[in-house]
Amino acid sequence: MTSTLTSDFRNEYETSRQVFLRRRVLWFTGLIAGFFAFLLLWQTIWAAVDPSDIGRLFWIKLVVRSTNLALYGAAFIYGMSRKAILTRRRMVWIITGLILTTAFLLYVPAQVVTALFNDAFFKESSSTIGSLPVWLTQVMLLHIVASLFIPWTPRESLVPILPVLVVNAIMLLFKNESFLMVILGIVLSNVIFLPGMGIAWWRQSRFHSRFHYSMLRGRYTQMKRELTDAQRIHEALFPKPIVDGAVHFDYLYEPMRQIGGDFLYTHRRQGEGAEGLSVVIIDVTGHGIPAALTVNRLHGELQRLFGEKPTLNPGEALDAINRYVYLTMAEHSVFATALCLRVNPGEGTLEYANGGHPPAFIRTIDGRVDQLDSTTFMPGVVHDDVFAPGQRSVRFEPGDALVAYTDGANEVINSTGRMLCIEGIRRVVASSSKDVQENLGRVVLEAVDAHRHGPIQDDTLIVEIRRPINQPTPQRSDTLSAV
């Protein structure tokens, strides 16, 4: 397991490995029990065909095989029981005990019978394959079969082998053989268990890789489902278009991922003498989930601000945003650009305060383009004692349209690596025909998409605010005022 895995991931890994181990233990014990059952059946049939073969050797084999069948069968039945508490450690010790018991039954009865009766069974059990005793070779095969079925670690697979190797080494030392043959026997007896350990390592690695793939695929599916839910909640924070009244409003949003850090908040004032629209555009540093979480917090703060003071002007809104970001987010290196707007249709004006945001553009009914540049610092950079919103006002009359955007639009890059830039956005606004005045945001987004080469590299938000042409037109004044 890598150090980057969380404790939840490790816990789930251990749980999955334990479930898989239990299933494999059942397979192993069931297979070996079936093998000894087959040997007993074959021995019984052979004795029935040739009764002369029944002797001391027959009964010893019968006892050994019956005992093994009983042990592996009992382990299988225990593993099948739902009441059994099978921890990983307990299952490893069950397999260890079974292998050691089998080794004991393969070796000790032969030595006892040989010592008491000088029986021919000694020749069978003590005979060798090369320099290795048959009983040791049989234990090796059992160990290999166990490693094929059970996903234990190489260290765990070594547990039942160490006692066998120690007993074998002691027996070799008491044999009347040369020192060289004793050393050779000890070395060979150690080497023959390497295949089982190698298989255990391969099985462990395979399970590890398969689990990681399955886990990551499952987590990806889960995360994708959660992101879809988060996207729905995130998009619910965005306002609905306004297509009636003295001020119309719409927007187009293309997040880099499912959710992003571009945000839009509106507050509509209605009533005699107080009709108007406040709009706040925010672009949080970063992308994806961290940026979306910041947006969620800012949305709550804006709801509080405009709920307490519906007539909040852009300068006051930007000042409050700076204070909030500075006190709660700046220490985490999270900042945001913000453009606060307020349209006053009764007065024919648009007030704005721009905190480090790309400049918005107003295209007047006669085709002129006015640029609303930044008026102050990016929110969160300086304390509110130093921060000055620099609110300004400009004429915004029927037939005029405003386009605002986030830096995902002006920083889009084409195939040669050239950015569209703010001047490029201005050219698009200026060159658009009068017929598309009410779809200026769509025109800008199409220009951005046409300039882009490759996938989206940043969140892109295009906001359009316009005054319907059928509204009364106050006398135009082209001067800008600062508040």
| Domain termination site, one of 190, 219, 248 | 219
Closest CA to 427 of 406, 394, 403, 398: 403
Same structural domain for residues 372 and 473? yes
The sign of the dihedral angle between the CA atoms of 94, 95, 100, 106 is positive
Q: Give the mean model confidence (pLDDT) for residues 27-35.
A: 88
Q: Considering the domain boundaries, does residue 229 fall inside one?
A: no
* Same domain for 281 and 184: no
Looking at the structure, do residues 398 and 450 belong to the same domain, yes or no? Answer: yes
How many domains does the chain contain in total? 2
CB 338 within 8 A of CB 377: no
pTM score above 0.85: no
In Å, the largest CA–CA distance within the chain is: 127
CB neighbours of residue 356 within 10 Å: 18
pLDDT reading at 262 higher than 90: no
Query: Do 242 and 196 sit in the same domain of this protein?
Result: no
How far is residue 393 from each of residues 105, 440, 469, measured CA to CA in Å? 98, 22, 21
Tell me the pLDDT tens digit for each residue of 283-341: 998 777 777 888 888 999 999 999 999 999 999 999 999 999 999 988 888 889 999 99
- Of the candidates 330, 315, 325, the one whose C-alpha atom is nearest the C-alpha of residue 482 is 315
pLDDT on residue 15? 66
Determine the pLDDT at residue 374. 96
Do both 270 and 339 map to the same domain? yes
Residues 441, 429: Cα–Cα separation, whole Å: 9
Of 125, 116, 134, 138, nearest to 61 by C-alpha is 125
In a domain, 228, yes or no: no
For residues 380 and 429, state if they share a domain.
yes
Q: Which helix (H) or strand (E) holds 361?
A: strand 360-363
Which among 341, 338, 339, 335 is positioned nearest to 382, based on CA atoms? 335
Is 274 found in the same domain as 214? no
pLDDT at 412: 92
Q: Please, how many CA atoms are within 13 Å of residue 142, restricted to the half-sphere of its CB? A: 27
User: Is residue 127 included in any domain, yes or no?
Assistant: yes
152 & 53 share domain: yes
Within this chain, do residues 281 and 215 fall inside the same structural domain, yes or no? Answer: no
Q: Which of 393, 296, 328, 297 is nearest to 354 (CA)?
A: 393
Q: E strands along 96-139, which residues? A: 128-129, 132-133
Residues 103 and 110: beta-carbon distance below 8 Å? no
Q: Which two tokens stand for residue 245?
A: 């009244």
Instruction: Give alpha helix (H) positions in 192-341.
Output: 194-236, 288-308, 314-328
Examine the domain organization and report whether 415 and 361 are in the same domain: yes
- C-alpha 279/C-alpha 260 separation (Å) is 19
**Burial class of residue 152, CB neighbours in 10 A (0-12, 13-18, 19+):** buried
Residue 182: inside a domain = yes
What are the distances in angstroms from CA 478 to CA 15, 345, 348, 448, 483?
72, 16, 12, 29, 16
Alpha-carbon span 417 to 154, nearest angstrom: 54
Q: Give the domain extent around 382.
A: 238-482
Q: Are residues 165 and 249 in the same domain?
A: no
- Residue, of 222 and 426, whose pLDDT is higher: 426
Residues whose CB falls within 8 Å of the CB of residue 304, separated by 6 or more in sequence, listed in order: none
Q: Are the C-beta atoms of residues 319 and 384 closer than 8 Å to each other?
A: yes
Whose structure tokens read 């910041």? 294
Check whether residue 460 and residue 367 sit in a common domain.
yes
Return the pLDDT at 116: 54
Q: Residue 394 — pLDDT band, cuts 50, 70, 90?
A: very high
Confidence check: pLDDT of 126 > 60 = no
CA 279 to each of CA 267, 343, 344: distance values in angstroms, whole numbers, following the listed order:
7, 8, 12
Confidence band of 130 (pLDDT split at 50, 70, 90)? very low
Examine the pLDDT at 241 and tell me if it is beyond 50.
yes
Contact between 412 and 256 (Cβ < 8 Å): no
CB 453 within 8 A of CB 438: no
**CA torsion, ordered 218, 219, 220, 221, to nearest 10 deg:** 50
Contact (Cβ atoms closer than 8 angstroms) between residue 282 and residue 336: yes
Q: Please report whether residue 260 resides in a domain.
A: yes
In a domain, 117, yes or no: yes
Query: Is residue 232 in some structural domain?
Result: no
What pLDDT was estimated at residue 260? Answer: 73
Q: What gap in Å lies between CA 25 and CA 74, rounded to an integer?
A: 12
For residue 444, what is the domain's CATH number?
A: 3.60.40.10
Whether residue 408 is contained in a domain is answered as yes
Tokens, residue 181: 């043959």
For the chain, the residue count is: 483
